[in-house]
Chains A and B, each alone.
Chain A
Amino acid sequence: MSTAQQIDTNTSVDVMTDTDQYLTFILAGEEYGVDILRVQEIKGWDSVTPIPNTPDYIKGVINLRGTIVPIVDLRHRFSLDAIPYGATTVVIVLKVTSDNGNRTMGIVVDAVSDVYNVAAEEMKPPPDFGAISIDYVKGLATVEEKMVIVLEIDKLLNSGVMENAEALLQ
């Protein structure tokens, strides 16, 4: 019994330290991070089935073991210049939560980079200007002298066309 309690306290200590792990990826030379617990899998780029009458950045849908998963090109989403997809181009499949439940979506990025531990207090709030709306940025972290832009994927991927869709439903 006492051992069990000890283990309990140990784990809770772990939780207390409040470090989150982030998977980072490269997009046009910058390093972006997403909460690793949201990452379902990383897969190589494969052709998609385009969906008619959707914005450019929705590349289309893929078959992920029987589930239809929409793929967002993050370069398009951030209005960066498109580059041809190459050997390092990957799709990161993420779980996105919204008011209407969970969704699975994939994002196309230039390459995956690393996994970092970032303590909550090390996270800096994003400056209130810049290319993309701060709504989509959770914060900025500094890892090994580099800046990592940690994304708020729920807001990012639920915004835009999905938002319109939900608004229409109401």
Chain B
Amino acid sequence: MNLWITAFVYGLSMSGVLFLVSVGISIGFGLMRIVNMEQMVYYTFGAYMAYTIVTATGSFFLGIVAAITVAAALGVIVETQLLRRVYEREMMFTMVVTFSVFLIGIGIIQYIWGLDPKPIASPMETMIQVARVKVPLYRLLIFGAAILIYAGIQLLLNRTIMGKAIRAGIENPNNVKGLGINIYKIFTIMFVIASGIAGLGGALYAPLIMVGPYMGWDMLLFAFITVILGGLGSIKGTMVSALILGQVMALGGTLWAPLAFIAPFMVMFLVILVKPTGLFGVRGVAFGFQS
């Protein structure tokens, strides 16, 4: 029983990270109709920035701030310089282009930090008591952070005029332009938020894993699985599916170790083949099957 509780908590932190890195992809597709293969660049840079700052100053808080800032800055650069040019092109084109950016990002990281994995000390070792088990508080905090961000995004989308413009843009970007709203500026703002959040995810997750140039690879696939399961364009969907997948990986992995890696893929296969719109697929964004 204790084992399962620990696994559950691990699952929560996994869910937290999955949500943070997947939000950008979900919004990117819903709002801008692009498949954001380079999202993990922000995630990885976030982790590396945290490593650098923590090693230099010892302050994890500063590390997080640096991670978010750098990730968001990278997001702005990529969006304004590259993505602007590909909005009107077909989806496959953007997919290959953003994938190239991902590769370039890995290359740059290798160049700056080298190939060896870097360890980061966890900012807190506190354990708290849940039922009869001691679990790491840090993992619960990661989950907490994800929930906060989720709430923040929902507030933004539902209560602010910019959020409403975003929702309108997800449904019909042309009409938003027709009203006189500069939708490109909105894209950029959303993109900055999304990449910053991914960077946060990287920084938060870094102490739990080894920071290496290829950490984005597996996470990229997991992030896509999360978004596909939840439904592209739906933030609620991303949160729910992150919760599900996190537990699938943690509990499944406790059952049989390889499942931690394989189970999400099985989920993805099932979803794609059975219900491609995912759990909460957004109206107007039909996908999955050939026309």
A, B co-complexed: no
